[in-house]
Every structure is written in structure tokens, then in C-alpha cells.
Amino acid sequence: MKILCAVKRVVDYNVKIRVKTDQSGVETSNVKFSMNPFDEIAVEEAVRLKEAGKATEIVVVSIGPAQAQETLRTALAMGADRAILVQTDVTTEPLAVAKVLKALVEKEAPGMVILGKQAIDDDCNQTGQMLAALLGWGQGTFASKIAAGDGKVAVTREIDGGLETVDLKLPAVVTADLRLNEPRYASLPNIMKAKKKPLETITSDSLGVDVTPRLKTLKVAEPAKRQAGIKVPDVATLVDKLKNEARVI
Amino acid sequence: MPILIFADHDNASLKPATAHAVTAAAKLGGDVHLLVAGRNAASAAEQAAKLAGVAKVLLADDAAYEHALAEPVAALLVSLAPGYSHVLAAATSVGKNVLPRVAALLDVAMISDITAVVSADSFERPIYAGNAIATVQSADPVKVITVRTTAFEAAAATGNAPVESVAAVADPALSSFVSAELSKSERPELTSARVVISGGRGMQSGDNFPLLEAIADKLGAAVGASRAAVDAGFVPNDYQVGQTGKIVAPDLYVAVGISGAIQHLAGMKDSKIIVAINKDEEAPIFQVADYGLVADLFKALPELQQAV
């Protein structure tokens, strides 16, 4: 079974982002970028499925600017076999990404698509569900365990009340949650090897997909700041403040 | 045109989150209809009918909807959507699973996790773990939206709307429910509790969580955790508060042994009063705490239990 993974280049999770003064967006120049952490988990899962003999080939895709090549190289160093960059400088929305991925799935015919459940920049949590919809496939979102069987996959999902397991007919789309696995660090020899793995760059036009955003961003603003509070010397003072000042207990 | 809300429920009862989505819908203008899709879900539909501001409850009762699997439920919502200007759901694990599928099938953009309604086509939503707030406008014919429940009050249970049956649509039969492992607790639900007390890596072990639970029981509080505590296996995943876990905004949030990574703050910084107990006085959690106590939690917690 071939597995297709989608990865996004995002502002690194450790970066404290700054809103641009003209409120047009978030400052992204001179900022560290990395692979979206949930996508790293998705790639790791694909690599583990291949190591377990359940997958034969891993194709990793990114839709974004030329620099997303670095993100794809990271995925190749983790163990993906080849990469496709759908290059665009447009800010991509989940629906557009899902349409691009659908076009690629039709070309590549994978048995499963694994993506992160959410990108940590736009926090949308939509792309996997949208891709499954467009393909007419089943979806296993927020996965904390994947058990691939014959013609189906059992996906254990993190839900509000605990865990839920569903069976999906293959092919299917799975989105990775935090507890699915712990992604490996690519070793130096694998980073070197990844430089020689095939990385194809194409455009969304060549796939016949319109990636123009549907939503208009009117402004991006700083959230209301919390006032820093006070330190209390002991538990008795804390309880007194909560009872008599804040009146919450 | 009316507005359709996809209700979150377990067939027997309506999840409190749905009442918050009703309040968001009321700001859009238009009659509010609530869809309850389930199996033997009449009692959930009855509760839905009591929410103030709901004009009509649609009940789709069919075996295919028992577990709210995304594929059959999305097919149902898509069949109903053409009569509506907006399709909403609370941003619970069910809403987040189903609504993007609906949006893609309708070929419209989706707007996740709104925190304010600016107008019928413009909404505020947090991005970058809540470190920026985007205002977005949609020109799509149907707006598909999930609602952050902490940003909207719950609608009161003072209404009396009629319940109307709607027929099930064909099940795409792509998925089937196998099992669920639900945490059982006598304490209030994390996302609707008035007081939340959360533990982090500083708790050192799941065996120490009873120290928090004893206080929670005295305060009628829910117990939560940081990602570090969940990843370490101290507590189950459904305890997680944060950017990708649960978003809470109780009257009182007590963070114990939690350093305060931005991903955790994203899930609790809208709480009315925040208390931090941490032995590291440099911990970033103190920058958002109204009351900070620099102390060893293993000393402070038993004292706190005595004092409240």
C-alpha cells in the first residue's frame, strides 16, 4: 500500500509571534519555520507502517512557497521515499489544499492519506476532513492509534469524552493527534541520503486547481492582554483573596 | 434565511456546548433550527427544544446516526443545507470532525472556532494558539462555522420549540463504530465547569493527581491537565487543556505544577481568575496569573485542601 502524507511549513511552535502594526497579518520575516508538529507525527506514522511491512512507498506532499522544499527534505530524512512540492505563494486555505491533494491522490492512487489534524498557524483543523469528503472516502480524525488490516483500518480517535475506535474502508484519510507516536529525529546519514531522494516541483495550475482564497481577512489583531497579577506569600492568603477579593470560591 | 445548528449529544442528553452555539446563532439574524441526528434521540431533541431562541428542532432518528460518524451525518447536513444561510456547530470533537466535511461537500470555505460574530458574514477567530485574532469575511452562499463555546454564553432552557422529524439520507457506508472508552467521572465536565484545577509535569506522577481531586471535590471543580502531564501518561487525553485540547474559561482556573507554555495558555487564558502554584518563580504561567503562589505543590496542595 502506498501512503501519501501532507506536510505544511509553519512558524515554529516555539516562536512568539508578533502581529504586524498595519494589522494585515502576522510577522513572518526573520522567523524560524518548521514542519507543522502534527504533520511530523503523520510522517512518522507512515514510516512506522512501512517499517512494519504494511506500506510500500511514502509520498510526501507540501503546498506552499519554494522554501517548503526544506520541510519536504525533513520528511524525506525521516523516511519518506519521494516528495512533491505544489508551489504557490498564495496563502492557502484548507479547501484549496484539499482540492490540490485530491488531484494528487487521483494521480498517485495511495491506499491511505495521513495528515496532521491541525496546522498550528491558522489552527483550522479542516484539511483532512475536506479531503476525505472530496474523495468520497472515510475519515479517521484525531487518531491516537492506527491498525491497518485487510481492506480496512481501525482508527482510535481522541474525542472529548475519551477514546473512540472506528473501522474505515480503505482507501481512507487519517489525521494525526498528539499521542499517535513520538516522531524521530532524522539522523545525519539520513539527512544526507534525503538530499538525493526525488523532489518534484509542480504548480497548482498544472493540476487544474484554483487555490485563490475564499475568505477575506479583514484584519489581524493582538488579543486582549491579561494584567499581571500579584504573588501571594502562602496558601492562607491565597484562599482569603479568592474568597474575599475575587469572590470565586 | 434560517440558520441550522448541528447539535452535539449522546442520544440521551444534549451536550451543554450546543447551548453556546445557539447564542452565537442568535447574533446572525434569522430563525434558528437545531438538528438532532441520532438513534433513539427523542430525549436529546426534547432538551434541544427547550433552548431559548430555537424556532424548531429537526430530529433525524436512524441507526446510522447513533455514534455521529462523520460520513453519514455530513451527508444528512448537506441534504438540509440549501435551505439555510449558515450551518453551525459547537467546536467539540464531533463538530470539528463533521463540519469541514460538510463545507467541502458544499464547496464552501469553513470558519473554525469563531469567538465573535461581527456581522452575518464576518467573524473573529483566534489563530496562532490565540496569539492573534483574525477577522474574516465569507462570500460563500452557505457559511459553515464552528463556535468556540467559551466565547458565547449558554442559551437558557426557557424555550418550547416544536420537534419535527426529518428522514435519514443514504449512508455512504464508509465507516463503522467499533467501541468507545469514555472517562467516567462524578465531577463536572471540563468545558462547562465553574472551577477547573489542572496539573502539569510538576505533579510527577498520575498517583499524585488525587491531591488535586480532593480539592476539586471540595470546590465542585473539574480536573484538567497540561499536555506534558497527558503525554507522560499521568491522566487520559480528555483531560488536556490547550491549543489542541479543550478550551476552558471557568470563573476560577488553578494551574498546579504547570509552566505555562503558549500552547497551554491558549486553552485557559480567558478564565476569569487564574491561580498558579509553581515552585519555579520564573515560570511563564505567573505572567497570566491573578494570584501566584511560589511553593512546592506537595506542601501547598494539602494546605489548600484544608483551607477551602
CB pairs under 8 A between A and B: 258
Q: Is B39 within a domain? A: yes
Distance from CA of A89 to the nearest CA of B (A): 19
All domains of chain A, ordered by start, with CATH? 2-223 (3.40.50.620)
Q: B117 and B136 in contact (C-beta within 8 Å)?
A: no
β strands within chain B, DSSP E: 3-6, 32-38, 54-61, 86-90, 110-114, 116-119, 122-127, 132-138, 143-147, 163-165, 175-182, 195-199, 222-225, 252-256, 273-278, 291-294
pLDDT by residue (tens digit) across A150-164? 999 999 999 999 999
Does the distance separating the beta carbons of A125 and B304 come in below 8 Å? no
Interface membership of A94 toward B (CB under 8 Å): yes
Q: Would you state the torsion angle of the CA atoms of residues B290, B292, B297, B303, taken in this order, to the nearest 10 degrees?
A: -80
Nearest to B113 among A123, A130, A221 (CB): A123
Predicted local confidence at residue B205, as pLDDT: 98
CATH number of the domain where residue B274 is located: 3.40.50.1220
- Please, which pLDDT band fits residue A174 given cuts at 50, 70 and 90? very high
Tell me the chain A residues in contact with residue B103 when contact means C-beta distances shorter than 8 Å. 95, 126, 130
Residue B19 predicted with pLDDT over 90: yes
- CB A95 to CB B103 under 8 A? yes
Structural domain span for residue B291 = 190-307
Q: What is the pLDDT of residues B215-225, one digit of tens each?
A: 999 999 999 99
Please give the Cα distance from B64 to B78 (Å, whole number). Answer: 15
Q: Please state, in angstroms and rounded to a whole number, the distance separating the CA atoms of residues A181 and A187.
A: 18
**Beta carbons within 10 angstroms of residue B17's beta carbon:** 25
Chain A residues touching residue B96 (CB < 8 angstroms): 125, 141-142
Beta-carbon separation of B180 and A241 below 8 A: no
Across the range A52-74, mean pLDDT stands at 97
Residue numbers in B near A226 (CB within 8 A): 269, 274, 287-288
Q: Does A117 touch chain B (CB under 8 A)?
A: yes
> Looking at residues A107-128, what average pLDDT do you find?
98
Q: Tell me if B178 is assigned to some domain.
A: no
Instruction: Decide if B128 and A236 are in contact by the 8 Å CB cutoff.
Output: no
Query: Which residues does A65 contact at the CB level (< 8 Å), separation at least 6?
Result: A9, A87, A88, A89
Which residue in the set A140, A167, A246 is minimally distant from B290, CB to CB? A246
pLDDT above 70 as % of chain B: 100
Q: Is residue B301 part of a domain?
A: yes
Per-residue pLDDT tens over the stretch B61-110: 999 999 999 999 999 999 999 999 999 999 999 999 999 999 999 999 99
Confidence of residue A228 (pLDDT cuts 50, 70, 90): confident
* A90 at B interface, C-beta within 8 A: no
Residues B146 and B253 in one domain: no
| Minimum-distance CB partner of B175 among A126, A168, A249 | A168
Instruction: Give the residue-averaged pLDDT of B135-154.
Output: 97
For residues B263 and B129, membership in a common domain is answered with no
Query: Would you state the pLDDT for residue A11?
Result: 97
Q: Which pLDDT score is estimated for A225?
A: 86
* Model ipTM over 0.90: yes
Which CATH number is B125's domain given?
3.40.50.620
Residue to substitute from B73, B92, B107, B127, interface A, most A β-carbons within 10 A: B127
B132 lies in the same domain as B209 = no
> What proportion of chain B, given as a percentage, has pLDDT over 90?
98
Q: Inter-chain contact B126–A223, Cβ cutoff 8 Å?
A: yes
Omega before A171 within 30 of 0, i.e. cis? yes
Q: Within an 8 Å CB–CB cutoff, is residue A118 touching chain B?
A: yes
Separation in Å, CA of B36 to nearest CA in chain A: 18
Q: Does residue B185 carry a pLDDT above 90?
A: no
Q: Are residues B158 and B224 in the same domain?
A: no
Task: Please give the residue of chain A at the shortest CA–CA distance from B253.
Answer: A248
Amino acid B247: pLDDT: 96
Residues B122 and B156 both lie in one domain: yes
pLDDT at position B183: 87
- Contacting residues of A for B127, CB less than 8 Å apart: 26, 121-123, 220
**Which residues of chain A make contact with B81, given a CB cutoff of 8 A?**
none
Q: Give how far Cα B177 sits from Cα of A132, A135, A140, B147, Å.
A: 17, 21, 11, 26
Which of A123, A140, A218 is nearest residue B135 as measured by Cβ atoms? A218
What contacts A20, CB < 8 A, 6 or more positions away? A26, A27, A220
The verdict on B74 and B139 lying in the same domain is yes
Which pLDDT score, from 0 to 100, does residue B266 have? 95
Question: Do B150 and B44 have their domain in common?
Answer: yes
Mutate: best of A19, A23, A129, partner B, most B CBs <10 A: A129
Bridge partners (DSSP) listed for residue B164: B58
Whole-model pTM: value is: 0.95
Q: Are residues B37 and B123 in the same domain?
A: yes
Is pLDDT above 90 for B184? Answer: no
Nearest-angstrom CA–CA distance, A156 and A175: 11
Q: Do B94 and A121 touch (CB under 8 A)?
A: no
pLDDT of residue A226: 86
Reduce the secondary structure of A30-74 to three states and give it as a string. Answer: CCCEEECHHHHHHHHHHHHHHHCCCCCEEEEEEEECCCHHHHHHH
Residue A185 has pLDDT above 90, yes or no: yes
In a domain, B96, yes or no: yes
Looking at the fold, whether B138 and B270 belong to one and the same domain comes out as no
Which residue intervals of chain A are DSSP H helices? 37-51, 68-78, 94-108, 127-135, 188-194, 235-244
Which run of H or of E encompasses B212? helix B209-219
Residue B103 sits in the same domain as residue B224: no
